[in-house]
Chains A and B, each alone.
Chain A
Amino acid sequence: MGGDEVILLNYWMSMFGARVRIALEEKGLNYEYREEDLQNKSPLLLQMNPVHKKIPVLIHNGKPICESNIIVQYIDEFWNDKAPLLPSDPYEKAQARFWADYIDKKLYDSGGKITWYKNKEDAEEGKKELLEIFKALEGALGDKPYFGGENFGYVDISLIGFYMRFHAYETIANFSIEAERPKLMAWVKRCLERKSVAKSLSDPKTVYETVLKFRKIRGLD
């Protein structure tokens, strides 16, 4: 596989892009990272993801794969000789897909109610929803070190990128995720010790400052 060309089109703040970066790092793959300016999307991005025109996009030997959870599964299936990300048992695999899908359906929108609030009630609602979601996820984690069990895997990869937004959620909605969901934060800290994660997440304070900047641009502040 020495001839593989792997390019990742991404945006530094994206929790979805983080999933792909972490998966690539876990597999020890070399790839070219290209930062997209979302206000000025490259012709390559528009060509490679004509349906959604969004990042992340993985381009493997010229062929695009879109949608972060789908990209992670692709990476796991193509480079299947090391660091398995999904369980091999079909039932466990279905559970892993369920929780990654749950994260997709719930977390972005509820978190968005906080970051892009128009009035205090939005942010309060977002905070309540987020805490419910985190509670359900703590239930799924149980007493295991990772969602994948002993091994860091697909669901961990699906979720950990959202840690980049925690400081923004906490500051804007005035609460502490650690105080409310200590088990989840213990899992976060465990993940942050992994090189693949530390390399792939942007600094939460910079993310928060950028959120504030976007709020002004969107006329919310």
Chain B
Amino acid sequence: MSNDELILLNYWPSLFGARVRIALEEKGLKYEYREEDLPNKSPLLLEMNPVYKKIPVLIHNGKPICESNIIAQYIDEVWNDRAPLLPSDPYEKAQARFWASYSDKIRDVGWKITYRKNNEEAVESKNELLEMLKALEGALGDEPYFGGENFGYVDISLIGCYMMFYTYETYANFSIEAECPKLIAWVKRCLERKSVSKSLGDPKIVYEIAVEWGKRLGLGLSTSLSACTVLSSLESEDFWRGRVKINKRDGDH
């Protein structure tokens, strides 16, 4: 497999992209990292992910694989001679897929904390997030990792969210550690792994970027738009081409 060409198209604050970076590192794979400028997506990204036009995309010997959890499973199956990410037992595998799929929803809930319509939506979303994190703590149990003794697929799926924790906590004025100490203990354990520390961006810089996007888009308190409207606008090509505007707050420059 020494002739494998691997390219990862990514945006460094993305918790989905982090999954792929961690999986590649865990397998000890060499790859070319390419940072995408989201308002200015490369022709390669648009060609390799025509359906969603989103990062991350892994390009393996010229062929694209899209959707972060699917990419992580692909990496595990192709490079199956080392560092297994998923369990071998079909039942344990199904449980791992269940929790990885569950962790997909965290970004959407977190979005509503950050770019909320009003205080009520922020509080509601904060409570929803804490419920989800507590359910994940339940799944973790007393094991060091979701994979049991070994760091694996669910750990990889979830740990990228840590980049956003500081943002959520600051926007909604709460402490995830106070509410979910077991989960934060698990976070700290993961951060000791080289694959993770290499792949996660600084949460404080992620927060500054979130604030900047908020200002740029006129989001947050006193905007009349719901977070979901904004999220779907941001995901549309028309928005990035300036054809769809999001109303600014009164008094914004």
Q: A70-B101, A74-B91, A74-B94 are in contact. Are A90 and B70 (CB under 8 A)?
A: no
Taking a contact as CB atoms under 8 Å apart, the answer to whether B97 and A73 are in contact is yes
Taking a contact as CB atoms under 8 Å apart, the answer to whether B90 and A91 are in contact is no
Closest 7 CB pairs of A and B: A90-B77, A77-B90, A74-B94, A94-B74, A78-B90, A70-B97, A97-B70
Taking a contact as CB atoms under 8 Å apart, the answer to whether A51 and B63 are in contact is no
Taking a contact as CB atoms under 8 Å apart, the answer to whether B101 and A51 are in contact is no
B6 to chain A, nearest CB (A): 13
Instruction: Give bound CA distance, A102 to B73, whole Å.
Output: 17
Taking a contact as CB atoms under 8 Å apart, the answer to whether B94 and A93 are in contact is no
How many residue pairs link A and B with beta carbons under 8 A? The number is 53
Q: A74-B91, A74-B93, A78-B90 are in contact. Are A51 and B102 (CB under 8 A)?
A: yes
**Residues in chain B within 8 A of chain A (CB atoms):** 51, 60, 63, 65-67, 70-71, 73-74, 77-78, 90-91, 93-94, 97-98, 101-102, 135
**Residues in chain A within 8 A of chain B (CB atoms):** 51, 60, 63, 65-67, 70-71, 73-74, 77-78, 90-91, 93-94, 97-98, 101-102, 136
Taking a contact as CB atoms under 8 Å apart, the answer to whether B65 and A70 are in contact is no
Interface of A is mostly: helix
Instruction: Give bound CA distance, A97 to B74, whole Å.
Output: 10
Instruction: Give bound CA distance, A91 to B91, whole Å.
Output: 23
Taking a contact as CB atoms under 8 Å apart, the answer to whether B70 and A65 are in contact is no
Taking a contact as CB atoms under 8 Å apart, the answer to whether A94 and B73 are in contact is yes
Q: What chain B residues lie within 8 Å of A91 (beta carbons)?
A: 60, 63, 65, 74
Q: Known pairs A74-B93, A93-B74, A98-B67. 18 more at Cβ < 8 A?
A: A51-B102, A65-B98, A67-B97, A70-B97, A70-B101, A74-B90, A77-B93, A78-B91, A90-B77, A91-B60, A91-B63, A91-B65, A94-B73, A94-B74, A97-B73, A98-B70, A102-B51, A136-B51
Instruction: Give bound CA distance, A60 to B65, whole Å.
Output: 32
